[in-house]
Every structure is written in C-alpha cells, then in structure tokens.
Amino acid sequence: MRTSDVARAAGVSADTIRLYERRGLVPHPRRTASGYRQYPPETVERVRLVRRALALGFTLEELAIVLTARDRGEVPCRAVRALASEKLEAIDVRLEELTALRERMVRVLDDWDARIARTPRDRPAGLLAALADLVPDDLRSPLLPGRRGPRR
C-alpha cells in the first residue's frame, strides 16, 4: 500500500503516516524502484492503534518506545498499564484543579452580580479591581500548563 492508501484507510493524512514512520510508530516500509513507500496492509491497523492510544493521552514518544519494544518481541503490557495509570492520576489531579477553578469562578460571579446590582448603570462596578479581594495573589491559573496553585 502506498502512503496515501494507508492514510485514506486509517482516516489520517499522508503527512501523519510519514510522521509516524519518522517517529518509529510504524516500521519503515520498503521502497519501490521509483522511491515510493510500500507499506504492508497491517500498517492501517497500526495507525488506528496509535490514534486510539493518542486519544487516551499517550504521547508519540511513549508509543514509539512501547511499539518498538513490542516489535522486538518484548511484552510491554505492564509498562503500558503503568503509563495508563499515571495518566489517570494526572486526569484526577486536573479534575480537582478544574473543580476548584469552577468553584472560584462561581464565587467571583456571585460577588460581581451583587456589585452590579448595587451599582448605578452609569458608574463602574469595579469588577476587575474586586479580584484583589476574591482571588489570592499566590494562586496560579490552572488553565496554563505548568502553572499550578498550591495543592490542597
């Protein structure tokens, strides 16, 4: 199968197939005399496997390590299970952060609604200035990667 055939069958772009090849996610195919890549049919299922694993949060780097080990005849099942468990723990932490952010946002909106209600329409309610009273300075945005507030 040519690159475009694999891409079409797997529902991805030809560039994705070439990227997966460069990253070691699909084995390097043999080449025709004119230089075209010729993938075996099982490459389609391999690409689908990669897509499903990416959808669960695995990275290309992690998948390359696991699939290379599998291709060498190793049994990486326990390593894959451990990686998935780590990802679940990270999701749980992220959910806690988002829940805390949601609760903070509800409190801010409640406060702002009260401020707006008691402020004449032609006067500023000072909503952004009120954040100094509502959100502590040492709190980092949980929406920005690598910037977390204190653990509770």
Q: Residues 24-78: pLDDT tens digits?
A: 999 999 999 999 999 999 999 999 999 999 999 999 999 999 999 999 999 999 9
**Residues 71, 89: Cα–Cα separation, whole Å:** 28
Q: Is 62 exposed, middle or buried (0-12, 13-18, 19+ CB in 10 A)?
A: middle
Q: For 108-144, write each residue's pLDDT tens digit.
A: 999 999 999 999 999 999 999 999 888 887 765 555 5
Q: For a pLDDT cut of 90, what percent of the chain falls above it?
A: 86
Residue showing tokens 């509502």: 134
pLDDT at position 147 is 47
**Residues 11, 33: Cα–Cα separation, whole Å:** 27
pLDDT at position 133 is 85
pLDDT at position 135 is 84
Given a cut of 80, whether residue 145 has pLDDT beyond it is no
* Contact indicator for 17, 23 with CB cutoff of 8 Å: no
